[in-house]
């Protein structure tokens, strides 16, 4: 009798097992489409328990073997779900169907993850890929099932402005499960505003004045090291050591000393690069970070977080002899009603390490590289520095540095061609509903990126020679070089600075922008007052992505005749 009950249990399922499997899979597909579950328990139920129950029912209702029944049921179940997903994503019924883009990108974000995985030796960065997509498909390109890349200056204000889009799920793929978000990865606008207030104090005018001595001392040490270089050396590596040492002093009260040791003896750069390499890929498929962490509790991202936590704990325990960044983040002046929790300080430590060092060294290595590639521009900048700071005069006056027009033009042009965050920062309509960007409809649940690299090289906004290094475009007409004036006469002049946003825009604009300019100007003045840099023979054109990631910039250094040693 019990056997009869089991045989009768499936009912219609036994007569049409394939149809029942397909129908169940279609229902589950709609569950995924509506709720997008990514937690282990719901996934286990939808992808494990349900097809398992179907397999058991079919097995008891048929004469087929268990293995055959289970394999057939699971295969058909998964195939139906995947087919529904892919068919919808490329169908004319998808909300983003009107936007052009590569076919494989429309199917899955794993395609973008693979593109960046192929660049893993360059920290998962491929800055030219999106530019090529925009050149082929236009200003709005579909780069994922629900994601657009935008190359349109008119989108900057509505997307990044005060009334713009909140941050997207890209940031979920960069924060390990259970970790406290840093300021830059915080998706809640209200929480971001609360955290930003403390950081603003750390970069106020009075705070910046306190950091001036730190910049000067580390810059003198850097120039003295360059004076001792013999033969070709990697300028990118030593700039990283310089910016990390400064960041260690400015944020944590010291302790890195990479320049003194001549290598990454703390392991901080290796840990950061490993974290970048993985997170730049997992950010495109955020839920994968959860399962990668479950598979490897010793993941490099966790090691990097542990390193930052240790630095914060040491700084909090031992204090500092001067008002460094963490003086403000820890709130040692007691301005807040409650002291910040340790988990927030740890995430702030991670951000300070990255934002306070790597982005600045990225801009400087590109600026120096362009000046080595075009020696006449390096001489022109040296002449401007010499006029403001004659030999023997310390080149440390921040006001005078800020009033060097060609220096500012060089830095702006380097950031235009090689922005610190080349692919922009993802925003989303997930929490705000559909929006319009001009005449473009952005549906609910859509992620958007304004691609900084592609936009700042668009001849619509910067012409002539949008892909060439011409600091003159940032100068008044009377100060431009004849060669650039000749280019203008041939092709016209366009200089739309609304398309220039290397430090982002709006409420999430980089809080450390003034400090970055201070350090870059001082380093450029000190180095070029004292010496001339050049590329070794045979080295002319280093590919963009090698300098966007952790590349190698072979460099020769010669002390200038008549220059005087720097003194701290």
**According to the model, what pLDDT value does residue 13 have?**
56
Peptide bond connecting 447 to the previous residue in cis, omega within 30 degrees of 0: no
Instruction: Please tell me the distance from the alpha carbon of residue 152 to that of residue 138, in angstroms, as a whole number.
Output: 10
**According to the model, what pLDDT value does residue 24 have?**
96
**According to the model, what pLDDT value does residue 3 have?**
41
- Tokens of residue 415, six digits: 């950031």
The alpha-carbon radius of gyration of the chain (Å, integer) is 28
526-558 pLDDT, tens digit each: 999 999 999 998 877 666 545 556 678 999 999
**According to the model, what pLDDT value does residue 521 have?**
98
455: Cα within 13 Å, side-chain hemisphere: 28
DSSP code per residue over 4-68: HHHHHTTTHHHH-HHHHHHHHHHHHHHHHHHH---SHHHHHIIIIIHHHHHHHHHHHHSSS-HHH
- Tokens of residue 345, six digits: 């300080």
What kind and span of H or E run contains 495? strand 494-495
Residues lower than pLDDT 50 in the chain:
1-9, 298, 545
**According to the model, what pLDDT value does residue 6 have?**
38
Contact assessment for residue 90 and residue 107, using Cβ atoms and an 8 Å cutoff:
yes
**According to the model, what pLDDT value does residue 204 have?**
94
Token pair 């009912």 is found at 11
510 labelled binding-site residue: yes
Dihedral angle computed from the Cα positions of residues 24, 28, 34 and 36, in that order, rounded to the nearest 10 degrees = 180
Instruction: Please tell me the distance from the alpha carbon of residue 405 to that of residue 384, in angstroms, as a whole number.
Output: 9
**According to the model, what pLDDT value does residue 291 have?**
80
Contact assessment for residue 89 and residue 144, using Cβ atoms and an 8 Å cutoff:
no
**According to the model, what pLDDT value does residue 2 have?**
42
Instruction: Please tell me the distance from the alpha carbon of residue 388 to that of residue 139, in angstroms, as a whole number.
Output: 43
Residue 481's region, left for phi above 0, alpha for psi from -120 to 50, else beta, is: beta
**According to the model, what pLDDT value does residue 123 have?**
55
Contact assessment for residue 501 and residue 534, using Cβ atoms and an 8 Å cutoff:
no
Instruction: Please tell me the distance from the alpha carbon of residue 124 to that of residue 496, in angstroms, as a whole number.
Output: 30
| pTM summary value | 0.91
Class at the top of the CATH hierarchy for domain 183-461+496-559: mainly alpha
Contact assessment for residue 449 and residue 140, using Cβ atoms and an 8 Å cutoff:
no
- Tokens of residue 10, six digits: 């499936």
Instruction: Please tell me the distance from the alpha carbon of residue 552 to that of residue 229, in angstroms, as a whole number.
Output: 16
């Amino acid at each position: 009798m019990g056997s009869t009950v089991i045989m009768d249990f499936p009912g219609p399922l036994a007569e049409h097992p394939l149809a029942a499997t397909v129908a169940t899979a279609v229902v589950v597909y709609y569950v995924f489409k509506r709720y997008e579950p990514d937690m282990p328990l719901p996934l286990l139920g939808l992808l494990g328990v349900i097809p398992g129950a179907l397999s058991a029912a079919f097995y008891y209702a048929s004469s087929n073997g268990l293995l055959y029944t289970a394999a057939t049921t699971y295969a058909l179940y998964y195939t139906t779900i995947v087919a529904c997903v892919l068919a919808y994503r490329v169908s004319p019924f998808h909300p983003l169907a009107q936007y052009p883009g590569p076919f494989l990108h429309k199917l899955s974000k794993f395609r973008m993850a693979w593109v960046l995985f192929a660049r893993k030796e360059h920290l998962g960065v491929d800055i030219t890929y999106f530019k090529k997509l925009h050149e082929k498909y236009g200003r709005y390109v579909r780069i994922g099932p629900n994601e657009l890349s935008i190359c349109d200056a008119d989108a900057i204000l509505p997307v990044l402005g005060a009334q713009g889009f909140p941050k997207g799920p890209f940031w979920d793929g960069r924060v390990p499960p259970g970790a406290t978000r840093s300021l830059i990865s915080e998706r809640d606008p209200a929480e971001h505003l609360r955290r930003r207030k403390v950081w603003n104090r750390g970069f106020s005018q009075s705070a910046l004045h306190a950091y001036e001595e730190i910049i000067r001392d580390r810059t003198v040490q850097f120039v003295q090291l360059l004076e001792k270089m013999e033969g070709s050396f990697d300028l990118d590596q030593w700039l990283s050591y310089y910016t990390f040492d400064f960041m260690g002093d400015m944020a944590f009260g010291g302790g890195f000393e990479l320049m003194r040791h001549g290598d990454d003896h703390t392991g901080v750069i290796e840990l950061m690069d490993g974290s970048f390499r993985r997170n730049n890929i997992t950010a495109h498929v955020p839920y994968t970070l959860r399962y990668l962490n479950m598979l490897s509790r010793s993941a490099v991202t966790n090691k990097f977080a542990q390193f930052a936590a240790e630095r914060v704990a040491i700084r909090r325990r031992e204090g500092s002899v001067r008002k460094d960044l963490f003086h403000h983040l820890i709130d040692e002046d007691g301005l807040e009603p409650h002291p910040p929790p340790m988990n927030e300080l740890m995430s702030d430590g991670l951000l300070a390490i990255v934002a306070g060092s790597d982005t600045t060294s990225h801009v400087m290595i590109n600026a120096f590289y362009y000046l080595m590639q075009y020696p006449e521009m390096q001489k022109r900048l040296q002449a401007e520095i010499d006029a403001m700071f004659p030999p023997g005069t310390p080149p440390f006056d921040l006001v005078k540095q800020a009033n060097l027009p060609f220096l500012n033009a060089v830095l702006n042009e380097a950031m235009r061609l090689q922005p610190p965050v080349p692919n922009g920062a993802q925003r989303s309509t997930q929490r705000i509903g559909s929006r319009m960007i001009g005449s473009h409809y952005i549906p609910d649940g859509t992620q958007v990126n304004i691609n900084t690299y592609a936009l700042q090289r668009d001849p619509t906004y910067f012409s002539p020679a949008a892909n060439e290094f011409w600091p003159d475009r940032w100068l008044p007409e009377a100060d431009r070089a004849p060669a650039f004036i000749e280019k203008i006469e041939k092709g016209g002049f366009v200089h739309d600075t609304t398309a220039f946003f290397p430090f982002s825009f709006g409420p999430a604009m980089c809080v450390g922008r003034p400090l970055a300019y201070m350090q870059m100007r001082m380093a450029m003045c000190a180095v070029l007052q004292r010496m001339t840099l050049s590329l070794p023979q045979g080295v002319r054109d280093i590919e963009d992505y090698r300098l966007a990631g952790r590349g190698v910039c072979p460099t020769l250094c010669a002390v200038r005749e008549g220059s005087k040693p720097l003194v701290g």
